Structure 1
Amino acid sequence: MKVLSPLASIALAQGTLCAAQGYTNESEVPYYGRSPAVYPSPVGDGATSSVWESAYQRAKALVSQLTVEEKSNLTRGFDGQCVGNTGAIPRLSIPSLCFSDAPDGIRGQEFVSAFPAGIHVAATWDRSLMYRYGHALGQEYHGKGINVALGPVAGPLGRLARGGRNWEGLGADPYLAGGGMGQITKGIQGAGVIASAKHWLLNEEEWRRNPGDMGESLSSNADDRTIHELYVFPFMDSLREGVGSVMCSYQRLNHSYGCQNSKLLNGILKTELGFEGFVVSDWAAQHSGVASANAGLDVVMPDGGFWGRNLTDAVANGSVTSERLDDMATRVLATWFYSGQDEGYPSPGVYSESEKHDPIDVQEDHATLIREIGSAGTVLVKNVNNTLPFTNATRFLSVYGYDATVSAAPWANPSRYGGGYEVNFGWSTFNGTLITGGGSGGSTPPYVVSPFQALQERISRNKGTLRWDFYSENPSPAYVNSDACLVFINAYASEAFDRTSLTDEFSDNLVRNVAANCTNTIVVLHSAGIRTVDAWVNHPNVTAVLFAGLPGQESGHSLVDILYGDVSPSGRLPFTVAKNESDYGELLNSTVSFDAFPEVNFTEGLYIDYRAFDRDGIEPQFEFGFGLSYTTFEYSDLAITSTGNSTSPLVDANTPIVQGGHPQLWDILFEVTCSITNTGDISASEVAQLYVGIPDAPVRQLRGFERVPLEPGETKQISFPLTRRDLSIWDVVAQQWRLQPTEYTTSVGASSRILHLNGTIQIA
């Protein structure tokens, strides 16, 4: 019997799959080869660090004792108590590894915390909080005996304004998202849990992410430079912090499914970026057996997929080499050793609600952190004549809107905070206060402190008065004596569908109707991503607007801390809010196609979100990085200093690659410093932002941020390190990051459009 080469086997597998699904017309032929083939799959060796090296030595010794069937069982899912479960090997004391959602808290379990969503954490612009967030998540996963936490999320990045899962990610900029990815990964894995960075790659919309009756899944088509500078960029930070797992995505990428795309897995992830851990499929995202194995997939979930007995047969007939199977098993075990889970790690303590068990409480004091992050990620975008904060004289409040309380009965929509997999097609708002989004990324709260509950606590303490109407679109104007009217609305989004609008008529009418009768109307918006506000934001009676994000279980407390000035708002927008939906142009909607081979071309290249607005000269409603404070700040004393590290165009080709890429990419080349003074009379934090103008690139790109706490009158000097990667472009010919010998502009300010200090960097 003739043994096919791996490449021939892949081509055969693709053709067989298409034929089996009935797509045998010639139109499929042009799609083959659009994503360059990169084979064989690199063998992990632990060269990144002594810790990885030791883990690999132990893993290889263990794999040498395994049968082919035992190795195969480490690479696939089995039924079990967790969302995902690998096979166990009892004779060698190798346990089943437990995988679980979600990036913002353990889903579907009791006595766990519901943390703020990724987009809310991004709005803090605070690396310290990002790390503490990750570490607290890791502690809860560890406490429940979960080996692999399915997060953090850098895909989607936020290419589309209506993307259904943007809220799971960390903002629509690769540098901001990368800062979050690195710190959250460091926090999770610092607690002994394996983080799984997802979704690799170009997972920017939900429309037809999986194949079905209409044909194959959507193909996200992007050029090499765009892939590296936008979409790979934030994953690099997670990889540098030692992430143990990367999850490949559902859809096709340049016409090759994400979990069998050898360019992305073998080429970029495992070769360019030196990934030492294992690649796991998204759930049911495997679409071939031999092709996915040879392309670099290491673990398939949630079951055997196209592998199982087929994988051992493929090894036996040579279409998958024994070395590839050894590497797959070794990567799983090396990551287990690397994380220190081989000694004293608790057994999984996750159960279905119908199963009798002793509950394990892992909440600790995380509610305090959740409350802090909730406040820090709340963005004040309008505050006429210092409407906020409330004073002790603010004692009579009227509260309106379905988002103010946990349950807005008598509306018929069911509560969506259960532990099940959420699929709620087409809903634009959530019935009750919104603390998270829907789908596998949504957390399961032990309780929810609603805004109304927290306001009651504060008003009762002040011996004040509350009036409320949670249901009406046009409430009675009877409460004319209120000191302020608070209107609570939301914008919901979920996995499995993209949003159909960035607004909704009911909520906009509610705000306008209240504002027509109340001269001090304050709008609080809980939003799973961008929400346009042009219908009412300029109404003269709308005096303050807060983007309150997805703050988790302590929602009400974190908001009231802002309203009453216990905390000065320091949140900044992690995306651009347009004046009109049409301003997003082709980056508004997902691509609705009923073709057998649907595709979307990322023709905008590097120009998404604020980069597109800058290029096209469009004035946003609220720009990327924008947010107000209760005080004022002054910027001064800009200085730029060279560190003396090499500024040669390319890195040293003889230096070994480590996880995260070439080590010289992380060399600091320049330090940008400035001073910031709190010129007001309230303690507050400023978020200083550094933007760099890189030649042959968008006019400005975020390349530094720092949240700076300042007492009244206090001045602090801050520093932004600029690495080689920060200043480089991806050279598609040399296939390397390249510094350009020319002038770069630098700007420091309070948003992407409020830039106080300007300078230049000259690279010879």
Structure 2
Amino acid sequence: MDLLKSAFDMLPRRRRRSPGSGSEQAVLSTKTAAALLCAACSPHAQTGSGGSELPYYGRSPPFCPSPPGNGSTNARWALAYGHARDLVALMTVDEKVNITRGWPGPCVGNTGEVPRLGIPALCFADGPSGIRGQEFVSAFPAGIHVAATFDRDLMYRYGQALGSEYYGKGINVALGPVAGPLGRVARGGRNWEGLSNDPYLAGAGMGAITRGIQEAGVIATPKHWLLNEQEFRRRWTPMGDAISANVDDRTLHELYAFPFMDALREGAGAVMCSYQRANHSYACQNSKLLNGILKTELGFEGFVVSDWDGQMSGVASANAGLDLVMPNAGFWGDSLLQAVHNGSVSDERISDMATRILAPWYYLRQENAYPPPAIFNNLQQHFPVDVQGDHAKLIEEIGAAGTVLVKNVNNTLPFKKPKFLCVYGYDATVKANPWQNRDRYSGGYDENFGWNTFNGTLVTAGGSGGSTPPYVVSPFQALQERVTKDRGILRWDFYSDKPTPYVNADACLVFINAYASESFDRTSLTDEFSDRLVLNVASWCAKTIVVIHSAGIRTVSAWITHPNITATLFAGLPGQESGHSLTSLLYGETNPSGRLPYTVALAEADYGANLLNSTVSFDPNPDQDFTEGLFIDYRHFDRHQITPQFEFGFGLSYTTFAYANFSVSVSAVQHNATNLAEFPDDNVRVVQGGHPALWEVVALARCVVANTGEVDGAEIAQLYVGVPGAGVDSPVRQLRGFVKVGPLVPGQGREVVFELTRRDLSVWDVVAQKWRLRRGVYRVWVGASSRDLRGEGELVVG
């Protein structure tokens, strides 16, 4: 153990030279350390001492050597690997090294090229909700908004449309979708990029969006792997190391790695590793995460790319499983070439790195006449390529489907041709100058619509995950269109928190927002100006409707129970068609079906330790211990019996629904419930996404959902499971299925079938190091939210 500790101590953890210079010192000083590491660990060294869970303060255990990709997942991967290996066999060591690093070029990231073999520079670009900093591209709804639709079909179509725009711009690699952060920290600055605080919902989104992007011919890059849950101290600074996210083995698998499995299952060709440390080892050189879990356990066939300037060592990162460094040479370049020549990095490893980079290129058939990059560069004349297609229609549809109605007293909504509307609040209209801030990432521009009070309606949020709207249809613009059509009247005030009363108004709409961004976490889940504005309007307007465009959780306890506030909508980050999406709901053309992808608390303190990222710390080696384990968001509220304002999965409709005939049974393809507990043959080759048996359907749940109201509408039926031990070492219940049912006409019913896979019912056994079903009684519920449960059943595993 002392030998292993010495080896780790020899690995460089901090960047001491400019990112583009490389580091000979990093290579030469780590040759012996790398050898010691590989001698000290084996493919089975995946847990702490004695096979127990990793202690919170333990070091992430080493896992080496890096397993070579083999293309064994399916015939398509096998064919891609065959082509990639043949090409790599023709390459010199210099050429292999050249394609493992970033180079200057037109894109956010550009790999090296090998002209003599026809290998082009691969083009990488942000972001997960639209191509950032470019012209004639669409601004799609953010990930958290897509998650709020609870609609797999919309998630897939979203990915497909997004991928087609990347393809049209000649971008090989799309940097998304996002499930890291998962939303552990309620105030996390980048939660809005992800696909909810629940691993199952996030996984469904990750899988569907990845499939859509790659069916368009573009390599998807699920990110950030792994445990990137806050912005505070996420990167190394002169103050010291990045924060270390310290998590136990079971939580790592069941929460944070879980949604990435779905993306891998759908063939993701790349994965981006994150900035921060994970159990005291930087994520882009963490061999447990990269070699052990991603490439061995989950059978990942593609390449691991660093987050931009996220590489923190040379030899250590190569041997730990990093395949490509961005956006420049980092600690590699000539230093990596030297490391291969002196044996610090093996010939097999550098060949595998090159093969893994080229295999997805073949897997997506990008070698066949792929469009050249059509990237906007303001320093030269260019000919814009318009890739928007008819995506505005889809954006409007998703914008409406992801908007959540949380209050609607006495049928305030939908409107019935009101003649006199008042519109208040800075979020109602476009006020920001979209060209005021140069985008430091790509040379384009950073559109922070609504980034603070008076800066306009919020359709995206900030940083590398933000989008670039070709235009923005504001709520005020769309409302003007409707009122004009109905020959009505509008009055508005976008500035004051105490606007002029109009007592004859049919209704008053108050627009507020909550912004978030990469690089910093939120300081509050509310703001005094907005709350004061809402209360001042409600003091005289008997029908006050509040619309919140929010980058995440927004508490509303300051005003939500006011009797004059008769309707409230969480309108998320809906993208460029924001106003049209909203008015279709306000006027009843679309019946709300969105559901909250997080829990809204009565008070910020109800989130407990997960409210904050950390206190201000001058510790050179800061830690963030995930002591809550599996219990984040609604799992935390259930465990501690805390009443929320609005629970996870909650959302209202203009109609009502009833549930009946709920049942749970073992799938017909399974022998019986007793045999479920026996895990299939361990000798079966792992495919991308994990052991193939994890994806087998082992049980079915059924119910009938009927529209009992007076208008057409769609219901989001949700399935929750409590494993044996629930409420003790496992969540009381956790989402394990959802189906959008409808639209149904009044009186119509439809049977809903939920398929439960082995993974859905399993827990991670930290001793056996595998997914296992527990013997005992599984409780299964169906309902309209995590707390509105309409049916209950049991499944006994013997």
> Would you say same fold, with TM above 0.5?
yes
Match of 2:355 in 1: 330
Q: Report the 3-state secondary structure (helix = DSSP H, G, I; strand = E; otherwise coil) of the residue aligned with 2:790.
A: strand
Matched, 1:504 2:527: yes
Gap change, CA 1:108 and 1:421, over 3 Å in 2: closer
1:434 to 458, 461, 467: 458
1:647 to 662, 676, 680: 676
- For residues 664-691 of structure 1, give each alpha carbon's deviation from its aligned partner in whole angstroms, at most 9, with x where no partner exists: 0011110101000001121111000000
Give the TM-score of the pair, scaled to structure 2. Answer: 0.91
Cα deviation, residue 354, structure 1: 3.7
Residues in 1 aligned to 2:97 and 2:481: alpha-carbon distance in whole angstroms:
57
- For residues 274-318 of structure 1, give each alpha carbon's deviation from its aligned partner in whole angstroms, at most 9, with x where no partner exists: 000000000000000000000000000000000000000000110
Match of 2:688 in 1: 659
- List structure 1 segments (4+ residues) > 4 angstroms apart after TM superposition: 5-11, 15-21, 30-33, 412-424, 426-430
Match of 1:25 in 2: none
Q: Report the 3-state secondary structure (helix = DSSP H, G, I; strand = E; otherwise coil) of the residue aligned with 2:129.
A: coil
**Paired AA for residue 681 in structure 2:** D
**Paired AA for residue 391 in structure 1:** K
Q: What runs of 5+ residues in structure 1 fail to find an aligned partner?
A: 22-29
List aligned pairs for 1:621-632, cutoff 5 A: 621-632=645-656
**Paired AA for residue 714 in structure 2:** S
**Paired AA for residue 204 in structure 1:** E
Residues in 1 aligned to 2:262 and 2:453: alpha-carbon distance in whole angstroms:
34
Indicate the larger mover: 724-733 or 586-595.
586-595
Residues in 2 aligned to 1:313 and 1:10: alpha-carbon distance in whole angstroms:
21
Matched, 1:577 2:611: no
**Paired AA for residue 661 in structure 1:** G
Q: Is the 8 A contact 1:694 1:727 kept in 2?
A: yes
**Paired AA for residue 67 in structure 1:** T
Gap change, CA 1:430 and 1:362, over 3 Å in 2: farther
Q: Is the 8 A contact 2:206 2:259 kept in 1?
A: yes
Gap change, CA 1:386 and 1:119, over 3 Å in 2: same
- For residues 76-112 of structure 1, give each alpha carbon's deviation from its aligned partner in whole angstroms, at most 9, with x where no partner exists: 1000000000011111111000000010000000000
Gap change, CA 1:459 and 1:310, over 3 Å in 2: same
Q: Report the 3-state secondary structure (helix = DSSP H, G, I; strand = E; otherwise coil) of the residue aligned with 1:91.
A: helix
Match of 1:304 in 2: 329
**Paired AA for residue 761 in structure 2:** L
Q: Report the 3-state secondary structure (helix = DSSP H, G, I; strand = E; otherwise coil) of the residue aligned with 1:56.
A: helix
Matched, 1:702 2:731: no
Matched, 1:674 2:691: no
Matched, 1:714 2:744: no
Indicate the larger mover: 465-474 or 639-648.
639-648
Gap change, CA 1:564 and 1:17, over 3 Å in 2: closer
Residues in 2 aligned to 1:629 and 1:739: alpha-carbon distance in whole angstroms:
37
Q: Is the 8 A contact 1:34 1:254 kept in 2?
A: yes
Match of 1:140 in 2: 165
1:543 to 566, 581, 592: 566
2:201 to 176, 183, 208: 176
Residues in 1 aligned to 2:267 and 2:540: alpha-carbon distance in whole angstroms:
56
Residues in 2 aligned to 1:178 and 1:362: alpha-carbon distance in whole angstroms:
28
Match of 1:587 in 2: 610
Q: What runs of 5+ residues in structure 2 fail to find an aligned partner?
A: 18-24, 27-54
Q: Report the 3-state secondary structure (helix = DSSP H, G, I; strand = E; otherwise coil) of the residue aligned with 2:222.
A: strand
RMSD of the alignment, in Å? 2.1
Q: Is the 8 A contact 2:56 2:625 kept in 1?
A: no
Match of 1:26 in 2: none
Cα deviation, residue 431, structure 1: 1.2
Gap change, CA 1:15 and 1:31, over 3 Å in 2: farther
Residues in 2 aligned to 1:756 and 1:431: alpha-carbon distance in whole angstroms:
43
Residues in 1 aligned to 2:388 and 2:784: alpha-carbon distance in whole angstroms:
35
**Paired AA for residue 348 in structure 2:** E
**Paired AA for residue 721 in structure 2:** V
Aligned length: 747
- For residues 480-502 of structure 1, give each alpha carbon's deviation from its aligned partner in whole angstroms, at most 9, with x where no partner exists: 11100000000000000000000
Match of 2:775 in 1: 741
Matched, 1:637 2:637: no
Residues in 2 aligned to 1:686 and 1:277: alpha-carbon distance in whole angstroms:
38
Matched, 1:321 2:346: yes
Cα deviation, residue 524, structure 1: 0.3
Gap change, CA 1:599 and 1:366, over 3 Å in 2: same
**Paired AA for residue 716 in structure 2:** V
- For residues 456-494 of structure 1, give each alpha carbon's deviation from its aligned partner in whole angstroms, at most 9, with x where no partner exists: 0011111111100000011111x1111000000000000
List aligned pairs for 1:87-486, cutoff 5 A: 87-392=112-417, 394-407=418-431, 420=444, 431-477=455-501, 479-486=502-509
Gap change, CA 1:9 and 1:303, over 3 Å in 2: farther
Residues in 1 aligned to 2:73 and 2:445: alpha-carbon distance in whole angstroms:
37
Cα deviation, residue 353, structure 1: 2.9
Residues in 2 aligned to 1:79 and 1:279: alpha-carbon distance in whole angstroms:
20
Match of 1:61 in 2: 86
**Paired AA for residue 550 in structure 1:** L
Q: Report the 3-state secondary structure (helix = DSSP H, G, I; strand = E; otherwise coil) of the residue aligned with 2:792.
A: strand
- For residues 167-218 of structure 1, give each alpha carbon's deviation from its aligned partner in whole angstroms, at most 9, with x where no partner exists: 0000000000000000000000000000000000000000011111110000
Cα deviation, residue 429, structure 1: 5.0
Q: Is the 8 A contact 1:428 1:493 kept in 2?
A: no
**Paired AA for residue 604 in structure 2:** E
Residues in 1 aligned to 2:663 and 2:58: alpha-carbon distance in whole angstroms:
49
Q: Report the 3-state secondary structure (helix = DSSP H, G, I; strand = E; otherwise coil) of the residue aligned with 2:693.
A: helix
Q: Report the 3-state secondary structure (helix = DSSP H, G, I; strand = E; otherwise coil) of the residue aligned with 1:198.
A: coil
**Paired AA for residue 752 in structure 1:** S
Residues in 2 aligned to 1:244 and 1:747: alpha-carbon distance in whole angstroms:
36
Q: Report the 3-state secondary structure (helix = DSSP H, G, I; strand = E; otherwise coil) of the residue aligned with 1:434.
A: coil
Residues in 2 aligned to 1:111 and 1:486: alpha-carbon distance in whole angstroms:
32
Q: Is the 8 A contact 1:408 1:471 kept in 2?
A: no
**Paired AA for residue 82 in structure 2:** Q
Residues in 2 aligned to 1:408 and 1:14: alpha-carbon distance in whole angstroms:
44
**Paired AA for residue 604 in structure 1:** E
Match of 2:541 in 1: 518
- For residues 420-443 of structure 1, give each alpha carbon's deviation from its aligned partner in whole angstroms, at most 9, with x where no partner exists: 57599x966571000011000000
Residues in 2 aligned to 1:382 and 1:31: alpha-carbon distance in whole angstroms:
42
Q: Report the 3-state secondary structure (helix = DSSP H, G, I; strand = E; otherwise coil) of the residue aligned with 1:175.
A: helix
Residues in 2 aligned to 1:7 and 1:146: alpha-carbon distance in whole angstroms:
43
- For residues 326-355 of structure 1, give each alpha carbon's deviation from its aligned partner in whole angstroms, at most 9, with x where no partner exists: 000000011100011000110000122342
Q: Report the 3-state secondary structure (helix = DSSP H, G, I; strand = E; otherwise coil) of the residue aligned with 1:708.
A: strand
Q: Report the 3-state secondary structure (helix = DSSP H, G, I; strand = E; otherwise coil) of the residue aligned with 1:350.
A: coil
Gap change, CA 1:31 and 1:395, over 3 Å in 2: closer
Residues in 1 aligned to 2:383 and 2:281: alpha-carbon distance in whole angstroms:
46
Q: Report the 3-state secondary structure (helix = DSSP H, G, I; strand = E; otherwise coil) of the residue aligned with 1:200.
A: coil
Residues in 1 aligned to 2:58 and 2:635: alpha-carbon distance in whole angstroms:
31
Residues in 1 aligned to 2:302 and 2:121: alpha-carbon distance in whole angstroms:
17
Cα deviation, residue 649, structure 1: 3.5
| % identity of equivalent residues | 66
Match of 2:586 in 1: 563
**Paired AA for residue 282 in structure 1:** D
**Paired AA for residue 720 in structure 2:** Y
Q: Is the 8 A contact 1:6 1:320 kept in 2?
A: no
Residues in 1 aligned to 2:133 and 2:624: alpha-carbon distance in whole angstroms:
34
Cα deviation, residue 417, structure 1: 9.6
Q: Report the 3-state secondary structure (helix = DSSP H, G, I; strand = E; otherwise coil) of the residue aligned with 2:223.
A: strand
Residues in 2 aligned to 1:70 and 1:52: alpha-carbon distance in whole angstroms:
23
Q: Report the 3-state secondary structure (helix = DSSP H, G, I; strand = E; otherwise coil) of the residue aligned with 1:227.
A: helix
Give the TM-score of the pair, scaled to structure 1. Answer: 0.95
**Paired AA for residue 745 in structure 1:** R
- For residues 700-732 of structure 1, give each alpha carbon's deviation from its aligned partner in whole angstroms, at most 9, with x where no partner exists: 000000111111211110111001100000000
